[in-house]
A and B are shown apart, each in its own frame.
Chain A
Amino acid sequence: MSVAKLRVFRGDSQGGEEKEYEVPVDEGMVVLDALFYIQANYDGDLAIRWNCKAAKCGSCSTEINGKPRLACKTRMDSFEEGETVTVYPIKAFPVIKDLVTDVSWNYEVSKKIPPFTPAEDTEWIMYQEDVERGQEFRKCIECFMCQNVCHILRDHNRKDAFAGPRFMIKIAEREMHPLDVLDRREFAREEAGVGFCNITKCCTEVCPEDIHITDNGIIPLKERVVDKYYDPLSWLLRKIKGK
Chain B
Amino acid sequence: MANGTASKALTMRKDMWWVEPLITGVVLGAFGIYSTWRALSNQFYYTEPYLSPFYSPLLLLDWWPLSPAILILWAPLGFRATCYYYRKAYYRAYFFSPPGCAVKPVGKRGSYTGESSFPFILQNIHRFFLYASIVILLFLWIDSYEAFFFHDGMGVGVGTIVLTANAFLLTMYSFSCHSFRHLMGGNLDVFSKCPTRFRLWGAISVQNEVHMKWAWTSLVFVALTDLYVFLVANGTITDLRLI
Contacts and interface: CB of A to CB of B under 8 A. Distances in A.
A26 B6 CA distance: 29
Contact of A220 (B101, B102, B109, B186): B186
B190 A200 contact: no
Contacts, number: 165
Q: Size class of B's contact patch?
A: 35 or more
Given A205-B101, A231-B127, A95 B186 contact: no
Interface stretch (B25-33, B91-99, B157-165): B91-99
Nearest to B208: A215
A92 B126 CA distance: 31
Interface string B103-120: 011010111111111001
B4 A95 contact: yes
A202 B178 contact: no
Given A149-B101, A178-B190, A227-B187, A88 B14 contact: no
Interface stretch (A49-57, A65-73, A163-171): A65-73
A197 B114 contact: yes
B6 A152 contact: no
Given A198-B91, A205-B101, A215-B178, A67 B4 contact: no
Interface in A54-105: 63, 65-68, 86, 88-95, 101
B178 A157 contact: no
B191 A66 contact: no
B3 A89 contact: yes
Nearest to B131: A233
Contacts of B113: 161, 195-196
A176 B11 CA distance: 37
Contacts of A90: 3
A156 B112 contact: yes
Contact of A157 (B104, B110, B183, B198): B110
A200 B13 contact: no
Given A88-B12, A198-B120, A226-B127, A17 B5 contact: yes
A91 B87 CA distance: 25
Contact of A9 (B6, B14, B115, B124): B6
Q: Size class of A's contact patch?
A: 35 or more
Contacts of B11: 66
19 contacts: A16-B3, A16-B4, A18-B5, A65-B12, A66-B102, A91-B6, A91-B7, A129-B198, A155-B98, A156-B111, A158-B110, A178-B190, A178-B192, A195-B117, A196-B115, A202-B102, A219-B182, A223-B183, A224-B187
Interface of B: 1-7, 11-15, 84, 87-88, 91-92, 97-98, 101-102, 104-105, 107, 109-117, 120-121, 124-127, 178-179, 182-183, 186-187, 189-192, 198, 208-209
Given A130-B191, A223-B182, 18 more contacts: A9-B6, A13-B1, A15-B4, A17-B4, A66-B11, A67-B15, A91-B6, A129-B192, A151-B97, A151-B98, A152-B114, A155-B109, A157-B110, A180-B189, A196-B113, A196-B116, A206-B101, A230-B125
Closest 10 CB pairs of A and B: A195-B116, A66-B12, A66-B13, A202-B101, A156-B112, A223-B182, A196-B114, A127-B192, A230-B124, A16-B4
Interface of A: 9, 11, 13-18, 63, 65-68, 86, 88-95, 101, 127, 129-130, 149, 151-152, 154-158, 161-162, 175-178, 180, 193, 195-202, 205-206, 212, 215, 219-220, 222-227, 229-231
